[in-house]
Structure 1
Amino acid sequence: MTRKAYSFVRTFPPEPDRDLCVDRHYLLCASAGALRLEAQGQVWVLPPARAALIEAGRPIRVSIPRPVTTASVLFDTEFVPALPAPLTVFDLSPLARALVTECGTWGESDEPLTTYAETLFAALAAVTWRLAEQPSPVVVPAGRSPELRRALRLTEERLSGEVRFEDVADEVGLAPRSLARRFETETGMTWRAVLRRMRVLRAIEELAAGDTPVTTIAFTIGYTSLSAFNAAFQDLTGRTPTEYRASFRP
């Protein structure tokens, strides 16, 4: 294939975790629904208006909790500069979103790009490479040890109800003090800080899934106060849940 860059749009049903690795720099966007990405010991949620820029040959794990439509662009490594980082998740600007849409005309083919198309893909790379210099803070650690990974899984499974650190530690088979040290050592955060991020990530997935009221989402992910949820969400994302949902719309 001779094209220096190409785009494709696909719709996927819910899928369990699977590994993804491509030989081109990969700009991955969700145009509807949300993806989960795991790499380098961290987990991101990718709803509309956010993108992942992934280095060629960099393995990542992708899961699809609900149906999702993706818009992806793949760049030949000799067509674009080196990436700012091996993997970055960031918010798309209106210009970047418009360029992703416009580049969607040129899919995988042996036919070379027209001069106009090549200029568009180069412009998209320039814009998204710049955006990738400011990664999103909405990320959750994946953990290294089996005990911590299980603690994280148990915590996430209980977001909708009351979740107690002591209960998680007991099921993992560690004393609360020992599990707390694992969190500090492996994630650099406390369990409560990780819990807060998990709730915001789950909220982003719910916001991307449809028009469920923000209050309902807040209660679904374990908050008993809408104001506390709004404060936690805005502290981490810089926007209220309503503003964040609005950013998904073109």
Structure 2
Amino acid sequence: MTRRAFSFVRSFPPEPARELCVDRHYLLCASAGVLRLEAQGQVWLLPPARAALIEAHRPIRVSIPRPVTTASVLFDPDFAPRPPAPLTVFDLSPLARALVAECRAWDEDGEALPTYAATLFAALAAVCWRLAERPSPCVVPAGRSPELRRALHITEQRLATDIRFEDVAREVGLVPRSLARRFEAETGLTWRAVLRRLRVLHAIEELTDSELSVTNIAFASGYTSLSAFNTAFRDLTGRTPTEFRASFCP
């Protein structure tokens, strides 16, 4: 017998992107490591400080750049209401984390949930559905055209270098003006704004899954000034890098 709501914890090695689609509303949390999620032309990072809420029957692409341990909670559509969006990534509150941990006692198979467990899962859904109304701004566009996707890939691979927009345009076979128009049309952002976000997302991965100092992470993400790195990180996440790391480190 499959319960109307259940939880499980699993560990995964690095994996390339694959499609994920389940018949239940899916609350996905990385308790260690980082996941990458892609849907609706956008890419999110999912470090331990955040959760993803995925609507039932909504396909997304998931990749695992480094080993990861996930805590997942699945809700039957008759148990929890439809999420506010097909896919939302948001910061976990201390209450939500405590509820996720408490719900781990009930896995997929077994008798109907006891009243206490059903109340816990209902409370977790209420809290996370409310948190999902304030999605994380740490998202970058995936791009629709092959040229833009290639430009994004090149940019991400060279974050630590003095990368030039003109060089990226040449490598994808477009003049800079044409590539700039692609960025505006497909992402609503300039290449410079996308570069800034990619550098912050790279820093999030390193803060989550390495013991490098904040200064070394800043340099590895392409910043030559720690103050500039702190400002860019705080502007996008609302926290300094040190505060962000402290939010999920014991």
Q: Pick the TM interval, shorter chain.
A: over 0.9
SS of 1:45 mapped into structure 2: strand
What residue number does 1:106 align with? Answer: 106
What residue number does 2:33 align with? Answer: 33
For 2:51 and 2:114, the matched residues in 1 are separated by 26
For 2:46 and 2:213, the matched residues in 1 are separated by 20
What residue number does 1:92 align with? Answer: 92
Matched, 1:3 2:8: no
What residue number does 1:135 align with? Answer: 135
What residue number does 2:192 align with? Answer: 192
Q: How many residues align?
A: 250
User: Would you identify which runs of 4 or more consecutive aligned residues in structure 1 move more than 3 Å?
Assistant: none
What residue number does 1:144 align with? Answer: 144
Contact 1:19 1:60 in 2 (8 A): yes
Matched, 1:81 2:81: yes
Deviations 1:57-101 (A, max 9, x none): 000101111110000000000001111111100000000000000
For 1:149 and 1:177, the matched residues in 2 are separated by 17
For 1:2 and 1:241, the matched residues in 2 are separated by 41
Partner AA of 1:81 in structure 2: P
Aligned-pair distance for 1:248?
1.1
For 1:163 and 1:18, the matched residues in 2 are separated by 30
How big is the alpha-carbon RMSD for the aligned residues of Structure 1 and Structure 2? 0.8
Aligned-pair distance for 1:2?
3.6
Q: Which runs of 5+ in 1 are unaligned?
A: none
For 1:161 and 1:9, the matched residues in 2 are separated by 38
For 1:179 and 1:215, the matched residues in 2 are separated by 33
Aligned-pair distance for 1:118?
0.4
Partner AA of 1:10 in structure 2: R
Partner AA of 2:114 in structure 1: T
SS of 1:38 mapped into structure 2: strand
Aligned-pair distance for 1:38?
0.5
SS of 2:66 mapped into structure 1: coil
Contact 1:49 1:97 in 2 (8 A): no
SS of 2:51 mapped into structure 1: strand
Aligned-pair distance for 1:16?
0.8
For 1:126 and 1:4, the matched residues in 2 are separated by 15
Pairing of 1:172-191 with structure 2 (within 5 A): 172-191=172-191
Matched, 1:43 2:43: yes
Q: What is the TM-score normalised by the length of structure 1? A: 0.99
Larger deviation, residues 191-200 vs 155-164: 155-164
Partner AA of 1:24 in structure 2: R
Q: Which runs of 5+ in 2 are unaligned?
A: none
Pairing of 1:160-239 with structure 2 (within 5 A): 160-239=160-239
Q: What is the TM-score normalised by the length of structure 2? A: 0.99
Aligned-pair distance for 1:110?
3.6
Partner AA of 2:218 in structure 1: A
Partner AA of 1:82 in structure 2: R
* Fraction of identical pairs, as percent: 80
For 1:39 and 1:2, the matched residues in 2 are separated by 28
What residue number does 2:60 align with? Answer: 60
SS of 2:133 mapped into structure 1: coil
SS of 1:228 mapped into structure 2: helix
For 1:3 and 1:183, the matched residues in 2 are separated by 45
Contact 1:32 1:69 in 2 (8 A): yes
SS of 2:199 mapped into structure 1: helix
For 2:208 and 2:19, the matched residues in 1 are separated by 23
Partner AA of 1:16 in structure 2: P
